[in-house]
A and B are shown apart, each in its own frame.
Chain A
Amino acid sequence: MKKAKRKPGERHLDKNFGGAHTGIKMQLSGNKNGSEILPASLVDLRRGDEAVLSEIDLPVEDARRLMEFGFLPGARVVAGQSAPGGDPQVFQVDGAEIAVRRETARRLKIHHKGRVRRKA
C-alpha cells in the first residue's frame, strides 16, 4: 500500500486553483486531446469515473476520520450520485457509499499518473 506523501508546494498550488479553474479542468479532462491536464482531486471526477487516492490534504484529525471511512491513500474510489447541484457527492469506496462535500473532496488528491477510467 502506498503511503501518503505530502508535497510541500501542493497546498499552495491548490489555493490558486480555486473555484473557476476547476470547471475548466473538468472540461479539458473530458477531452482526449487535453491529456496533459489530469484531474487532481475527487471533485474532478464525474459520475462513474474511477481513480486511485494519493493523498489527503487535511489536518491530522480530519484525515484520520476520512481514513476510517475508507478514504485511504491507495484506495480505489468511484464517483457516484450527487445531491442536486453536485454538492455533496457520493463516492463508492471500500464497499460503502460515503457522501462528501465539495470542499472536502477537493482535499482528496488522486494520482496524477493514475489512469482515470471513464465510464462509457
Chain B
Amino acid sequence: MSECTDCAGCGTSAVAAFPPDAAVKTVAVIGPPNSGKTTLFNRLTGLRQKVANYPGVTVEQHTGIAELAGGQSVELIDLPGVYSLSPHSEDEQVAYDVLTGRRQDTAKPEAILLVLDSTNLSRHLMLAAPILALGLPTLIILNMADDLRNRGGTLDTKALSRELGAPVALVSARQGEGIEQVREFLAGAMALPMPRSLPVLHDVPKCREWAGMVGSQADYRAPIAPKWTRRLDRVVLHPLAGPLIFAFVVIAVFQSIFSYVTPLMDGVKWLFEVSGNWIAITLPPSPLRSLLVDGVWKGVGSVIVFLPQVLLLFLFIGILEDSGYLARAALIADRTMARFGLQGKSFIPLLSAYACAVPAIMSTRTIENKRDRTATILIAPFMTCAARFPVYTLIIAAFLPNRQLLGFLSVRTVAMIGLYALGFVMAVLTARILKSSILKSGRTPFLLEMPAYRWPTLQSLGLRLFDRSKVFLRRAGTVILLVTVLLWVAAHVPYTHGHPPAIRDSLAGTLGRTIEPVIKPLGFDWKIGIGLITSFAARETIIATMGAIYGMDHPDSTSMDLQSALRHDLTPGAAVALLIFFAFAMQCVSTVAVVRRETGGWKWPLAQFAYMSALAYGGAFLAAHLLRYL
C-alpha cells in the first residue's frame, strides 16, 4: 500500500504558506521523460492528452482543470519531460520557461507536482534538487508503484519526505492507485519545501551523489531488472530475428487491414446506401434532395466508409506505442537514419507522421539541434499519413485483384507497403540532400532511453480509438462536408432555362477543364482535376469529391461504386500516377500552417510546398509515361 506523509510531523517545514481557503490556482506537473506525467495529468483532469510508452510524447504544455472535493478546482499544467533544469532542446525550454514564469501565455505555477519513476529513483531524484530549490510548495510523486512492488523494490516514503522536507506520495497513475493523496495535496494547505540539504545545482556528479545519499537515507532498494524486457529485447534486437520481426509486424498489420475489415466497411457502406435511398424516397425531388443524396451522402459517405480501416491501423500503432516497441524500432532504424544524415531522434517524429504530419512536426521539438530539427520537419510530410491511407486503399482496391503472391502475401498488401516505402525513401533521400547542403550540422550525441515493456491497457487503446474516430468524423463533418457542399453548388451553377447544367459545363467542370491541360500529361481528366483541387484542403477530400461527382453524374444509381467509376475513367498507368502524386504532394493546409508556426516564417513551408509539388508532378509524369501502354 502506498502512503502519504506530509511534513507536519517532521518539524522542519514552515507552516502553510497559503491560508487553506486561498486556493492555489496553477500547479505544474514536471518530471523526467516517460515518468508518467501525462498519465497522472489525464487522471486528475479527466482529459485525454496523448500518452505512450516512450520518452518525449509531450512537447508542449497542456492545461486542464482538476476538480477537487468540496467544489475546489486547480489548474494543472502538464509539461514536457526534463532530465534537468538546464534546457537542451525546445521542449525542455518550454518546461523551463513555464516553471520560471517566463512564458507570456501561461501563469507562473504556484505549486509543483514532481513526478518521478519510482523504479529508477536514484537517478530521477537528481531532478528534485533544482525543483526544490525553486522554493515552491512541491509534492514528490513516486509513480509506477505497481512496477516497483512487482519487481521487489522498496522504500521508506516517510524517511524520504523527511530528507526532502516535502510531502511524498507513492502512486500508480496508470492503475489509479494513490491518486487521492495527490488530490489531498492539491486541496490542502501547502508548505514550502525544507530539504535537509541541497547539492550545488549545476554540478551533475554532485547532484547524483546527493540523490544517492537521499535515496539511501530513505532505504531505497532498487527493483530487480525487468526480466521480461531483457528477454524480449534479446529477441527483438537480435541481429537476424529483429529485422525479420519488424518486417513481419508491418506485413501483418497491412494484411489484416485489407482482409479482415472488409465486412465492416461493407456494413458502413450499406448503412449509407439504405439511408440515402430512404432520403431519396422520402423527400420530393428538389435541389435540397439532390444536395443531400448526391452531394453529402455520396460524398461524405464514401469517406466515412474508410473509418474501420483507419481504426484498425491506429489499434496496431497504439499497441506498438504503448508496449514500448517503438523505442526499439527507433534503435534498429538509427543506422539507416545516420547514413542519411539524420539522428535517431528524428525517427520518432517520422514514425508518428504515419498518423499525421501535424503532431509529428510538433514532436520534432525533442531534437536539440536546430538544423536537424528543420530537416526532420521538412521531410515529415512524405511519410504516409492516415489521410493518404483511404486514397491508397480506394485506388489499390479498384485496380489490383485480391490475388496471393507466394501463397500468403496479397498483391494489395504488397502495393500498399510499396507506397509506404516510397514515401519513406523519398523522405530519407530529401534528408540526405538537405543535410549535405543547406542544413549541414555537427553531430550531437544520440541518447535514447529504452523504456521497460508494458502491457497496453484495454482502456488506453479504447480511448485512442474513440479519439481517433472523433478526429476522423470531425474532419468528415467539417472540412470534407464543407468542400462537398461547395462542390455541389459549383456543380449546379450556372442554371440555364431553370435546369442545372451538366457537370461538364458547370462551374466545377469548367475549373476542372481549365487545369486539364496541365494534368493531361499525367493521364488525369477534368473530373480527377476537380478532385485534385479539392484535395488540397485535405487529402481524403478527393474521395468525397469523386463520390459526389460520380453521384451527380449518374443520379439514378444509388450505389456508391466509386471503384468501377474510377476504373472507367483512369488507365492503370494513370492510377499509378495518381498514387505517386498523392505520395509526394503536400496537399494539406494544416501541415503548411504548422510548419510555418514551428519554423517561424513562410520561407520553409513555401519552399517545402514547391519542392513537394514539383516532385509529385514529376513523379506522376514519369509513371504515366513509363506505364502508358499498360
User: Do A68 and B122 contact each other (CB < 8 Å), given the known contacts A83-B332, A98-B450, A101-B338?
Assistant: no
Query: Does B498 reach chain A (CB closer than 8 Å)?
Result: no
| Residue of B122, B240, B444, B450 touching A99 (CB-CB under 8 A) | B450
In contact, A84 and B88 (Cβ under 8 angstroms):
no
How many Å lie between the Cα of A83 and that of B445 in the bound state?
A: 16
In contact, B334 and A101 (Cβ under 8 angstroms):
yes
- CB closest chain-B residue, reference A4: B205
In contact, A85 and B122 (Cβ under 8 angstroms):
no
In contact, A65 and B447 (Cβ under 8 angstroms):
yes
In contact, B447 and A66 (Cβ under 8 angstroms):
yes
In contact, B83 and A68 (Cβ under 8 angstroms):
yes
Interface residues on A, range: 35 or more
How many Å lie between the Cα of A74 and that of B205 in the bound state?
A: 10
Interface string of B178-208 (1 = CB under 8 A from A): 0000000000000000000000000011001
User: Which one of A10-18, A29-37, A56-64, A111-119 is at the interface?
Assistant: A56-64
User: Do A68 and B84 contact each other (CB < 8 Å), given the known contacts A81-B237, A88-B344, A99-B448?
Assistant: yes
| Chain A: minimal CB distance from B437 (Å) | 22
| Residue of B208, B234, B238, B444 touching A62 (CB-CB under 8 A) | B444
User: Do A96 and B334 contact each other (CB < 8 Å), given the known contacts A66-B445, A84-B242, A85-B239?
Assistant: no
How many Å lie between the Cα of A87 and that of B447 in the bound state?
A: 12
Residues of B within 8 A of A49 (CB): none
Residues of A within 8 A of B209 (CB): 1
Residues of A within 8 A of B84 (CB): 68
| Residue of B331, B334, B445, B446 touching A58 (CB-CB under 8 A) | B445
User: Do A103 and B450 contact each other (CB < 8 Å), given the known contacts A72-B208, A87-B334, A96-B120?
Assistant: no
Query: Does B147 reach chain A (CB closer than 8 Å)?
Result: no
Query: Does B64 reach chain A (CB closer than 8 Å)?
Result: no
Within 8 A of B (CB), among A48-94: 58, 61-62, 64-70, 72-74, 80-85, 87-88, 90, 92, 94
Interface residues on B, range: 35 or more
| Chain A: minimal CB distance from B209 (Å) | 6
| Chain A: minimal CB distance from B443 (Å) | 7
Residues of A within 8 A of B443 (CB): 103
| Residue of A62, A80, A98 touching B449 (CB-CB under 8 A) | A98
Residues of B within 8 A of A72 (CB): 204-205, 208
Query: Does B222 reach chain A (CB closer than 8 Å)?
Result: yes
Query: Does A100 reach chain B (CB closer than 8 Å)?
Result: yes
Residues of A within 8 A of B332 (CB): 83-84
- CB closest chain-A residue, reference B443: A103
Interface string of B116-133 (1 = CB under 8 A from A): 000110110010000000
User: Do A99 and B123 contact each other (CB < 8 Å), given the known contacts A1-B205, A67-B204, A84-B242?
Assistant: no
How many Å lie between the Cα of A62 and that of B443 in the bound state?
A: 10
- CB closest chain-B residue, reference A58: B445
| Chain A: minimal CB distance from B130 (Å) | 11
| Residue of B119, B238, B331 touching A88 (CB-CB under 8 A) | B331
In contact, B205 and A90 (Cβ under 8 angstroms):
no
In contact, B237 and A95 (Cβ under 8 angstroms):
no
Residues of A within 8 A of B445 (CB): 58, 62, 65-66, 100-101, 103-104
Query: Does A3 reach chain B (CB closer than 8 Å)?
Result: yes
Query: Does B100 reach chain A (CB closer than 8 Å)?
Result: no
| Chain A: minimal CB distance from B203 (Å) | 10
Query: Does B243 reach chain A (CB closer than 8 Å)?
Result: yes
In contact, B233 and A3 (Cβ under 8 angstroms):
no
| Chain B: minimal CB distance from A17 (Å) | 19
- CB closest chain-A residue, reference B88: A65
| Chain B: minimal CB distance from A120 (Å) | 16
Within 8 A of A (CB), among B329-355: 331-332, 334-335, 338, 344
Residues of A within 8 A of B238 (CB): 84
Query: Does B72 reach chain A (CB closer than 8 Å)?
Result: no
Interface string of B443-471 (1 = CB under 8 A from A): 11111111000000000000000000000
| Chain B: minimal CB distance from A46 (Å) | 14
Residues of B within 8 A of A3 (CB): 205
How many Å lie between the Cα of A3 and that of B204 in the bound state?
A: 11
| Chain A: minimal CB distance from B592 (Å) | 33
| Residue of A68, A82, A103 touching B237 (CB-CB under 8 A) | A82
User: Do A87 and B446 contact each other (CB < 8 Å), given the known contacts A64-B86, A65-B88, A96-B120?
Assistant: no
Residues of A within 8 A of B447 (CB): 65-66, 69, 98-100, 104
How many Å lie between the Cα of A90 and that of B448 in the bound state?
A: 9
| Chain A: minimal CB distance from B325 (Å) | 14
User: Do A84 and B449 contact each other (CB < 8 Å), given the known contacts A64-B204, A101-B338?
Assistant: no
How many Å lie between the Cα of A82 and that of B450 in the bound state?
A: 12
| Chain A: minimal CB distance from B588 (Å) | 32
Residues of B within 8 A of A88 (CB): 331, 334-335, 344, 446, 448
User: Do A84 and B243 contact each other (CB < 8 Å), given the known contacts A95-B120, A96-B123?
Assistant: yes
Interface string of B414-427 (1 = CB under 8 A from A): 00000000000000
Residues of A within 8 A of B237 (CB): 81-84, 90
15 extra A-B contacts, CB within 8 A, seeds A66-B447, A88-B446, A95-B123: A65-B447, A69-B447, A73-B205, A80-B233, A83-B237, A83-B334, A84-B239, A84-B243, A94-B120, A95-B122, A95-B222, A96-B123, A97-B229, A99-B449, A101-B446
8 CB contacts below 8 A, A to B, read: A64-B86, A66-B445, A67-B205, A84-B240, A87-B334, A98-B449, A99-B331, A100-B446
Which 5 A-B pairs rank lowest in CB-CB distance, beginning with the nearest? A67-B204, A104-B445, A97-B450, A81-B237, A68-B83
Please report A residues at the B interface, Cβ cutoff 8 Å. 1, 3-4, 58, 61-62, 64-70, 72-74, 80-85, 87-88, 90, 92, 94-101, 103-104
